[in-house]
Amino acid sequence: MTGLDTLLESRQSDAARHAMALGLPTKRTEAWKYVPTRVLARTAWIEASPHVQQADTFGVSQGQFVNLPSTPGLTITQGPLTDSESAQLARLRGRHGFQAAAQALADVPWVITIEAGQQVRLDLTHFANTASSAAFGLCVIRVGANAHLHLDERFEETTDATKTLSEWTVLITLARDAQMDQVRMQTAGEGAHLFHTTHVTVDKNAQFRHFVTDFGAQLARLDLTVDLVGPHAHTQCHGLLVTGGQQYHDIHLDVNHCVGHTTSAMTYRTMVDGQGEATLNGRVYIAKDAQRSATEQSIANLLLSERSRVNPKPELEIYADDVTASHGCTVGSLNATELFYLRSRGLSAADARALLQYAFAERVIDVLGDTAIRTDIERRLLGTLKHGDLIRELQDSIDV
């Protein structure tokens, strides 16, 4: 793990030495077989240092919260953790050397607590690191009984192509009857290498809804695990990956139905152009005693160039015999018949292609209930697509 060795050696801790002994995951590690880890190993990363942030904007800078908000029903502190939270972090450390290194290099975990019965909205910005620097952070989010948290995450956009590294590990616990909506719009600069790990525990009657869009970064990976541990717990996970140039985007999702009468749904769309590559691994596990559970899984992938690549892997692992489960996964290019139809209506080939790409992405964007967030994502999508201005004009006259 030469790229992180200097940082780990400076910590002089058992955790750092353990991470160095484990080393980085390699292509022999199934969950990392497509990840271009060379940049992690060959870059001499330096420790991220604080720099000036946007005034009064709550965010993450160098693995630390800045500009803490003052909101009724919300508290943000550093530690301490419960025994179960500490045990969960230990299990994550055991997954691979990079997670072990991230925890060894992170400071004291931040703890966000939403009091029982409260409704809180948090807008969080992930600020860009300084050039060639690496930052690591830990956060625990506790949503109390019958509380509701809406977390809207954005990323600072920069034009600096210098490599940066950010790792952010989050543990989320939803108590009975709690709800959480997490929306993550990733538009980081072209030099960013982002690794986010999120583990969610959903108790009885609680609901966790997650939506992610990946537009930016040179490399972006999200590991999301959702454990449904109480009857009638529910999760919805949706995402859109728009990958181009030489970008690599990766989502690994695990949904575990630990008890019966739990439900889940996942819908993901990827559009890959240029020499981009996207990986989408969606796994649903239904335990033997998780009877009368239900899950739906839909993954669709659109290849837009001859050199683009996508690695989809939908998985269903079911040990109960009284369940409802459906899944579908497609990989293809734009539909020739639909292209012909649009061309026959007077659109150019480029305009027709852009319109079909937009319609493909819109199917997953439509699940967002927050109009303002949906508008922001649509605006970014149209700015990414060629001939996006034409689509804006068409929106006023036809239903797309």
Q: Are residues 174 and 239 in the same domain?
A: yes
The verdict on 378 and 290 lying in the same domain is no
Residue 10: pLDDT over 70: yes
**Beta pairing partners, 317:** 285
Contact 267, 298 (CB under 8 A): yes
Rounded to an integer, the average pLDDT of 357-385 is: 87
Q: Which domain holds residue 357?
A: 335-400
- The token duo for 14 is 């058992």
- The pLDDT tens digits for 157-187 are 888 888 999 999 999 999 999 999 999 999 9
Per-residue model confidence (pLDDT) at position 168: 97
Q: Tell me, what amino acid is at 157? A: E
CA 330 to chain centroid: 21
**Cα 102 to Cα 196: distance, rounded to the nearest angstrom:** 10
Query: Are 221 and 271 within one domain?
Result: yes
Regarding whether 353 and 295 lie in a shared domain, the answer is: no
What's the CA gap between 294 and 234, in Å, rounded? 10
Are residues 322 and 373 located together in one domain of the fold? no
Predicted confidence (pLDDT) per residue in 180-198, tens digit: 999 999 999 999 999 999 9
The first and second tokens of residue 6, run together, are: 């200097």
245 and 156, same domain (yes or no): yes
Residue 194 has, within 13 A of its CA and on its CB side, a CA count of 30
Q: Indicate the pLDDT class of residue 40, thresholds 50, 70 and 90.
A: confident
Instruction: Specify the pLDDT at position 355.
Output: 86
Give tens-digit pLDDT for 261-296: 999 999 999 999 999 999 999 999 999 999 999 999
* CA–CA dist 195, 85 (Å, integer): 20
Question: How many domains in the chain?
Answer: 2
Are residues 178 and 307 located together in one domain of the fold? yes
- Other Cβ atoms closer than 10 A to 316: 15
Give yes or no: residues 105 and 191 share one domain: yes
For residue 266, is it left (φ>0), alpha (ψ between -120 and 50) or beta? Answer: beta
113 and 236 fall within a common domain: yes
pTM of the predicted model, to two decimals?
0.94
35 and 152 housed in the same domain: yes
Query: Which of 305, 334, 363 corresponds to the end of one domain?
Result: 334
Domain final position from 334, 350, 372: 334
Q: Provide the 8-state DSSP code for 135.
A: E
* pLDDT, tens digit, 9 for 90 and up, residues 193-237: 999 999 999 999 999 999 999 999 999 999 999 999 999 999 999
Q: Which of 283, 302, 334 is the last residue of a domain?
A: 334
Residues 6 or more apart whose Cβ sits within 8 Å of residue 381: 215, 240, 242, 358, 361, 365, 388
Q: Where are the beta strands (DSSP E) in the chain?
A: 46-47, 59-61, 64-66, 74-78, 110-114, 119-126, 133-143, 148-155, 164-174, 179-186, 192-202, 207-214, 219-228, 234-243, 248-257, 263-272, 277-286, 293-303, 309-318, 323-332
- What pLDDT score does 370 carry? 83
> 290, 322 in Cβ contact below 8 A?
no
Higher pLDDT among residues 71 and 51, named by residue: 71
Closest by CA to 358, choosing from 302, 298, 291, is 302
Kindly state whether residues 305 and 375 are assigned to the same domain.
no
177: left (phi over 0), alpha (psi -120 to 50) or beta: left
Q: Name the burial class of residue 328, with classes exposed (0-12), middle (13-18) and buried (19+) by CB atoms within 10 angstroms of its CB.
A: exposed
Can the peptide bond before residue 312 be classed as cis, meaning omega within 30 degrees of 0? no
DSSP assignment of 232-298, as one string?
T-EEEEEEEEEE-TT-EEEEEEEEEE-SSS-EEEEEEEEEE-TT-EEEEEEEEEE-TT-TTEEEEEE
pLDDT in tens, 86-102: 999 999 998 889 999 99
**Same domain membership, residue 345 and residue 295:** no
